[in-house]
Amino acid sequence: MKERSLPADNLNRTVDLAEARSRHNLGARRFVIACLVLSLGLVASVALATGIGRMDVGWGAIAAVVLGKLGFHTGAVDRTTEVVIWGIRLSRVVLSGLVGAALATAGVIFQGLLLNPLADPFTLGVSTGAAFGVALLVMLGVGGSFLGLSPLPLGALAGAMGAMAAVMVLSRESGRIRKETLILAGIVVSTFLAALISLIKSLDEESLSAIVFWIMGSFSGRGWIHVGFLLPYLAAGLALGAIYHRELDIMALGEEQSHHLGVAVSAVRLKLLLGASLLTAGAVSVSGVIGFVGLVVPHLVRVLAGPSHGRLLALSAATGALILIWADVLARTLLSSGQELPVGVVSALLGGPFFFYLLKSRRSRGMW
Amino acid sequence: MIRVEALELGYEDRLVLAGLNFQVDRGEFLGILGPNGSGKSTLLNALSGLLPPQKGRIIVKSEPLRGLPSRLRAQILAVVPQSTDVRFPFSCLEIVLMGRYPHRRRLGTLTDADLVWALKSMRRTTTSHLKERPIIEISGGECQRVVMARALAQDPEILLLDEATSSLDVRKKLEIFELLKFLSDTRGLTVLCAMHDLNLAALYCRRLMFIKHGRVVVDGPTDQVFTPAILSEVYETPMEVVRHPGHLRPYAVMLPLSPGTWEDETGVEPMEAAQS
């Protein structure tokens, strides 16, 4: 009976191994193809989005300006067109893409870590916390930039982590974070801080529309300097996510199993929360609070690419970038009057119904 | 392999287990038995490093358990919990490969050794056919065996099972215990399992530890401690122990709580009879 219950060990293991390897590679190949498609989509989107706007610039001019900036000598483009393409449009498109990537990957980390399908920087109150941090610094007159770095993202980081801590404390019940109360706590903290932001900005005698643009998010008037502010935070956050992606997979099984499998749970969780906070803080400090990107994109990508967090992070970054680039194009072109919408309005308008559909179709399949 | 010294365990101000002193050697197959709420799971939680002791200490391979780095601990010690709730649609092979986490280098690629271990563990638990299936779609019993495969993929020296086979059918239960016995006999795997199934324990465990009211009642070789007196005392139920004529292992038969046989119509409610 001993032998019979262990027929396994005698079987030809090389065949099995080769099969598992090839399946593994098959998955890897699909992932590479998805990456290629998304990269091409991104390049095309950046070019297209740069061409769209109130002033008609023409594709030749865009190519000439970009190549010129890269050091190639091309035909002269008139100064105004160059400023519009390089200084206004392209910088804004790139920034919206990077913010989209940051918010989407922050969403991936929050959802995996907190085992909560509704978790994202916005629903957890982390975005609003970051925005509050920035608003506070601006009110206190701290601003400007030194060596291309700004103190504002630091304020955003402090605000993000403060809000995160507050939400954790609020939703903690006898040592455990309650899933059900987590989002509730996030909304409470978020609403409270949004009210405080409005108060601060009103006291600072800013216009109502400026406040709305801050709370709903906007890329209006943003340029390369903001790309510089965001980049170190984006890089650090993505690096943390990439280093700990395997732990993220395991921690999606829950705290106890992660412990049994050898994950140093509290230390890893702290690092990943820091990563997600860095991503959120970087994004919010340059664009205000943009909701739904971090919520919807991870779900969308998970349906297509499976739950493995390494791939999820990479593909979500690209997808988030794509979505926010086009959301911003809509935000600046939708109103015929030439006025801009807050980009958060567009992302919510697109994301809301889509998320509703996701929730419905997932529940019917028994997932979450 | 494991040494427990003057251990006291509990949650906040509630003491669950006290005065624990025992040692488990390499290759032992220990069954931990006791009524509901006796503290079996608490003991396993402490042995897996999940629950810090209130007093005393646990020593694993001459190192204090608390001082072991988590990856090193997971190379020595694997746990199969009572049930597993997974909500992400990982494939079963992906789940089993997670058992290789403590052996894999950070950012290192998946090696052949990792895959071989995962596939071997899946064959041993008869889950090979589930490789590509999402874990959220398979049955509870299948899931339990996949988690078992994951624990084996950790290539542990000690395996802790907390009611791990309770949800399996008879055949699967026996298969798992055959496998555990095989690994214990030939590879020196140390097995500690908390369980309710007395006869399964008597069939495979070479040593039994009975826990009741937070204390170890008795701890010794199965042949010496699996007696009607001890069983009846621990479970507060009349028990008889018989040796099976075929395999000569003891098995327990519980007797009805009410006096006499069921044919006797005494007219007394069974619970009243038991109390009187």
Q: What is the pLDDT of chain A when averaged over all its residues?
A: 84
Position A180 confidence tier, pLDDT thresholds 50, 70, 90: confident
Kindly give the pairing relationship between strand B239-243 and strand B63-64. unpaired
Environment class of A230 (CB within 10 Å of its CB; exposed 0-12, middle 13-18, buried 19+): buried
Identify the three-state secondary structure at position A158.
helix
Identify the three-state secondary structure at position B83.
coil
Name the phi and psi angles at B212, rounded to 5. -150, 140
What is the distance in angstroms between the Cα of B274 and the nearest Cα belonging to chain A? 39
Query: What does the alpha-carbon distance between residue A54 and residue B85 come to, in Å, rounded to a whole number?
Result: 54
Structure-block tokens of residue B52 = 């810090």
Position B77 confidence tier, pLDDT thresholds 50, 70, 90: very high
Q: pTM score, two decimals?
A: 0.87
**CB-CB under 8 Å, A249 with B87:** no
Residue A13 has pLDDT above 70, yes or no: no
Find the residue in A nearest to B154 (Cα).
A261
Of 3.40.50.880, 3.40.190.170, 1.10.1270.20, 1.10.3470.10, the CATH number of A7-364 is 1.10.3470.10
Identify the three-state secondary structure at position A362.
helix
Find the residue in A nearest to B98 (Cα).
A250
Quick one: pLDDT at residue B264?
53
Cα–Cα separations (whole angstroms), residue B46 to A100, B41, B54: 44, 9, 10
**Residue B238 near residue B39, CB atoms below 8 Å:** no
Nearest Cα neighbor of A240 from A274, A265, A280, A263 is: A274
Determine the average pLDDT of the residues in A301-315. Answer: 90
Quick one: pLDDT at residue A366?
43
Residue A233 has pLDDT above 80, yes or no: yes
**CB-CB under 8 Å, B75 with A262:** yes
> What pairs with residue B174 in β-bridges?
none
Task: Select the residue from B65, B88, B127, B152 to test the A interface by mutation, using most A Cβ atoms within 10 A.
Answer: B88
Residue A256 has pLDDT above 50, yes or no: yes
Q: List chain B residues with CB under 8 Å of A2.
A: 178, 181-182
Residue A289 has pLDDT above 60, yes or no: yes
> What pairs with residue B259 in β-bridges?
none
The residue assigned the tokens 């005392």 is B233
Nearest Cα neighbor of A318 from A339, A335, A300, A343 is: A300
Q: List chain B residues with CB under 8 Å of A259.
A: 48-50, 70
**CB-CB under 8 Å, B84 with A264:** no
Query: Which residues neighbour B25 within 8 Å (Cβ) at sequence distance 6 or greater?
Result: B1, B190
Gap between the terminal Cα atoms of chain A: 41
Nearest Cα neighbor of A277 from A240, A245, A247 is: A240
**Residue B171 near residue B182, CB atoms below 8 Å:** no
The residue assigned the tokens 């990943």 is A272
Cα–Cα separations (whole angstroms), residue A160 to A125, A281, A317: 8, 6, 20
**CB-CB under 8 Å, B175 with A9:** no
Find the residue in A nearest to B94 (Cα).
A308
**Residue A348 near residue A292, CB atoms below 8 Å:** yes
DSSP 8-state code for residue B134: B
**CB-CB under 8 Å, A5 with B182:** yes
Q: Residue length, chain A?
A: 368
Position B260 confidence tier, pLDDT thresholds 50, 70, 90: low
